[in-house]
């Protein structure tokens, strides 16, 4: 399965070995690249031809596609968590899947099925320890941890797809009037977390100990779950590890309406009638949508719809309209997007023009405020000036909104690795030495690699320093297991203070020599964007 977080993926981890108990006892770190366990996750299928275990759910039975007791985990692939969103279910909220009479051996779709290219894409994968039965293990939800069990197999991992592009982000007055459900990517993510609550115990996971992990747009998916329905919805996870959340907040209804009408007209569905748009082939729909996006610089992003997204999540957090009370880590890169001049912005007049392209309803006085917050003399060029603005409203402004909403009781980080651009941390969090073989022999072998390239669009794909990578993974794993990045391997890494342990806000700086510094995002720029004064 190929999991996208709108456009980019979330991170994965390496975990410490835990005593064989349903509660955390402390780390027992392995020194080899594999782990062992004595029992399978669940009873096997009983077939003499395959040793791979099966898990029974109330609508299907799934069989592992790879793994074994020697490496310590099994992978269950392409589990349908919602009906195929095709035909009359296109542009509709996800529904629970139908009963499946045949055993699901992971072949319902390609292993790397992607919602970018396949409409029938609402599948998830589960990685479960071989001895998970009855252990009530912590659960992590993100993308893929495959190969990142170097130190242990003491958590259950869930990776899910959600609809992207026009299938997951259609919006606007006509679309909703016709019965279309806006922001379906957020609905799909909600449904995946509901699936975890309902079924993860069958795999040995604890539904009351779920950590949501997300990077870039995947990080924003986590934040949309915190603020969906303005905080009037159940909390579906208990901890959050959010890295460089990316989200360009589309302003007003005009852009969304114009986009829907342009796409529908190009497909012969004048007026945007939903029955016509549901009859169009998926390839034609995607191609037409992509063409309109390119021609009109449309921002394919979640938009305020008055329902599941009643306001931008920055504004919801700032106003206290959210439902999340657990431990939280949130990070950003030092130069997410401001080290390169923004293309097309060549003069100072272009800065105001591009602000209005992104936010067509912004008032003149709000534009003037922005120009004062980002003064011309601070930048070598107009392109760099606007790039810094975009870094704020796309990638960094929401961090401090979440921190303040959680009473400053968050762990904040600044990534300063290499060029410190967007995704600079991902190969470190994803560093691995395993490759799972899911061929017919269902074996798994350990292979040495510099770093996985599955970190998502925008992630660094060069080799990484393994020592730094493991240190970063230890913070993440400690957080997943205990709700605190410091508790496990406390002597192996520097202490990471909470934001509120400094009068001006504390953050850890993740670079070649980790350090603690004052927070850099608690400023007037972030406050402007968090108040949504551009709306």
The answer, yes or no, to whether residue 36 has pLDDT greater than 50, is: no
Spatial CA neighbour of 240 closest among 119, 164, 118, 322: 322
Asked whether the predicted pLDDT for residue 215 surpasses 70, the reply is: yes
Q: What is the mean pLDDT of residues 415-442?
A: 77
Residue ranges of the alpha helices (H) in 43-83?
none
Query: In whole angstroms, what is the distance from residue 170 CA to residue 274 CA?
Result: 11
At 370 the pLDDT is 97
Higher pLDDT: 535 or 400? It is: 400
Q: Which two tokens stand for residue 473?
A: 């993974």
Place of tokens 């009359």: 88
From the candidates 45, 118, 216, 244, which is the catalytic residue?
A: 216
C-alpha triplet 428, 394, 165: angle, nearest 5°: 90
**Predicted confidence (pLDDT) at residue 444 exceeds the cutoff of 90:** no
Residue of higher predicted confidence among 230 and 448: 230
CATH numbers and ranges of domains, the chain:
54-530 (3.40.50.1820)
Mean pLDDT of the chain: 85
**Range 519-528 average pLDDT:** 94
pLDDT (mean) for 451-477? 65
Where in 81-204 does DSSP place strands (E)? 123-129, 137-142, 156-160
| Residue 3 reports pLDDT greater than 90 | no
Res 61 pLDDT > 50: yes
On whether the CB atoms of residues 11 and 143 are closer than 8 A, the answer is yes
Q: What is residue 379's predicted lDDT score, i.e. its pLDDT?
A: 98
Tokens of 266: 């190009």
Q: Which long-range contacts (CB under 8 A, 24 or more apart) does 197-203 make?
A: 197/236, 199/57, 200/126, 200/139, 200/156, 200/158, 201/136, 202/42, 202/55, 202/56, 202/57, 203/41, 203/42, 203/55, 203/76, 203/126, 203/128, 203/132, 203/156
Q: Print the SS3 string covering 343-403.
A: CCCCCHHHHHHHHHHHCCCCCHHHHHHHHHHCCHHHCCCHHHHHHHHHHHHHHHHHHHHHH
Average pLDDT over residues 413-437: 86
pLDDT class for 152, splitting at 50, 70, 90?
A: low
User: Is 216 in the active site?
Assistant: yes
Please say if the pLDDT value at position 17 is more than 90: no
Phi and psi dihedrals of 298, rounded to 5? -70, 135
Instruction: Convert the pLDDT of each residue in 110-123 to its tens digit.
Output: 998 999 999 999 99
Q: How confident is the model at residue 1 (pLDDT cuts 50, 70, 90)?
A: low
Mean pLDDT, residues 156-162: 94
- Residue-wise pLDDT for 306-350, tens only, equals 999 999 999 999 999 999 999 999 999 999 999 999 999 999 999
Q: Which of 38-52, 71-85, 136-150, 249-263 has the highest mean pLDDT?
A: 71-85
pLDDT band at 464 (very low <50, low <70, confident <90, very high): confident
Give the span between the Cα atoms of 86 and 107, in whole angstroms: 19
* pLDDT band with cut points at 50, 70 and 90 for residue 32: very low
pLDDT tens-digit profile of 69-94? Answer: 888 889 999 999 999 999 999 999 99
% of the chain at pLDDT higher than 90: 71
Q: Which residue has the higher pLDDT, 38 or 121?
A: 121
- Mean pLDDT across the stretch 184-202? 98
Question: 144-148, 212-216, 374-378: which has the highest mean pLDDT?
Answer: 374-378
151 has a pLDDT exceeding 60: no
Question: What pLDDT is stored for residue 391 in this prediction?
Answer: 96
pLDDT tier for residue 149 given thresholds of 50, 70 and 90: low
**pLDDT for residue 460:** 37
Quote the pLDDT of residue 253: 85
Q: Is the pLDDT of residue 438 over 80?
A: no
| pLDDT score for 170 | 96
pLDDT at 6 exceeding the cut of 60: no
Please check whether residue 324 is in contact with residue 235, taking contact to mean a CB–CB distance below 8 angstroms: yes
């Amino acid at each position: 399965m190929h999991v996208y977080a709108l456009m980019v993926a979330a991170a994965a981890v390496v975990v410490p070995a835990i005593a064989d108990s349903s509660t955390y006892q402390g780390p027992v770190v392995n020194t080899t690249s594999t782990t062992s366990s004595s029992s399978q996750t669940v009873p096997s299928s009983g077939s003499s031809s395959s040793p791979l275990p099966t898990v029974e759910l109330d609508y299907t039975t799934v069989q592992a596609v790879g793994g074994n007791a020697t490496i310590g985990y099994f992978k269950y692939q392409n589990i349908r968590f919602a009906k195929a969103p095709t035909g009359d279910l296109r542009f509709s909220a996800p529904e629970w899947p139908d009963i499946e009479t045949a055993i699901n051996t992971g072949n319902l779709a390609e292993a790397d099925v992607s919602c970018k290219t396949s409409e029938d894409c609402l599948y998830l994968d589960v990685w479960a320890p071989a001895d998970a039965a009855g252990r009530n293990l912590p659960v992590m939800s993100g993308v893929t941890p495959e190969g990142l069990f170097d130190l242990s197999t003491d958590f259950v991992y869930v990776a899910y797809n959600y609809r992207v592009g026009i299938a997951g982000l259609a919006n606007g007055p006509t679309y909703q009037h016709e019965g279309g459900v806006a922001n379906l990517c957020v609905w799909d993510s909600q449904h995946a977390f509901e699936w975890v609550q309902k079924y993860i115990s069958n795999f040995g996971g604890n539904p009351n100990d779920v950590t949501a992990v997300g990077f870039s747009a995947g990080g924003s998916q986590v934040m949309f779950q915190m603020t969906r329905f303005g905080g009037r919805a159940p909390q579906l996870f208990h901890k959050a590890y959010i890295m460089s959340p990316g989200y360009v907040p589309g302003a007003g209804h005009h852009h969304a309406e114009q986009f829907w009408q342009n796409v529908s007209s190009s497909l012969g569905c004048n007026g945007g009638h939903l029955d016509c748009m549901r009859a169009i082939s998926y390839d034609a729909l995607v191609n037409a949508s992509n063409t309109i996006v390119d021609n009109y610089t449309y921002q394919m992003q979640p938009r305020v719809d008055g329902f599941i997204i009643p306001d931008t999540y920055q504004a919801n957090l700032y106003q206290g309209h959210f439902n999340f009370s657990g431990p939280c880590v949130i990070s950003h890169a030092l130069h997410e997007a401001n080290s390169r001049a923004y293309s097309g912005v060549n003069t100072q007049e272009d800065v105001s023009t591009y602000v209005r392209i992104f936010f067509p309803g912004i008032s003149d006085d709000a534009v003037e405020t922005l120009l004062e917050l980002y003064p011309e003399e601070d930048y070598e060029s107009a392109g760099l000036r606007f790039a810094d603005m975009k870094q704020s409203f796309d990638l960094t402004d929401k961090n401090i909104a979440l921190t303040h909403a959680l009473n400053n009781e968050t762990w904040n980080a600044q990534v300063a690795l290499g060029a410190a651009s967007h995704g600079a941390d991902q190969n470190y969090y994803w560093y691995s030495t395993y490759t799972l073989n899911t061929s017919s022999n269902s074996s798994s072998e350990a292979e040495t690699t510099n770093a996985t390239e599955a970190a998502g669009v925008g992630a660094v794909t060069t080799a990484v320093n393994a020592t730094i990578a493991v240190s970063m993974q230890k913070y993440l794993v400690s957080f997943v297991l205990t709700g605190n990045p410091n508790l496990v391997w406390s002597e192996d890494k520097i202490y990471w203070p909470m934001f509120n342990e400094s009068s001006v806000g504390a953050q850890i700086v993740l670079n070649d020599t980790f350090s603690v510094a004052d927070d850099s995002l608690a400023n007037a720029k972030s406050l402007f964007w968090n108040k949504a004064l551009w709306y």
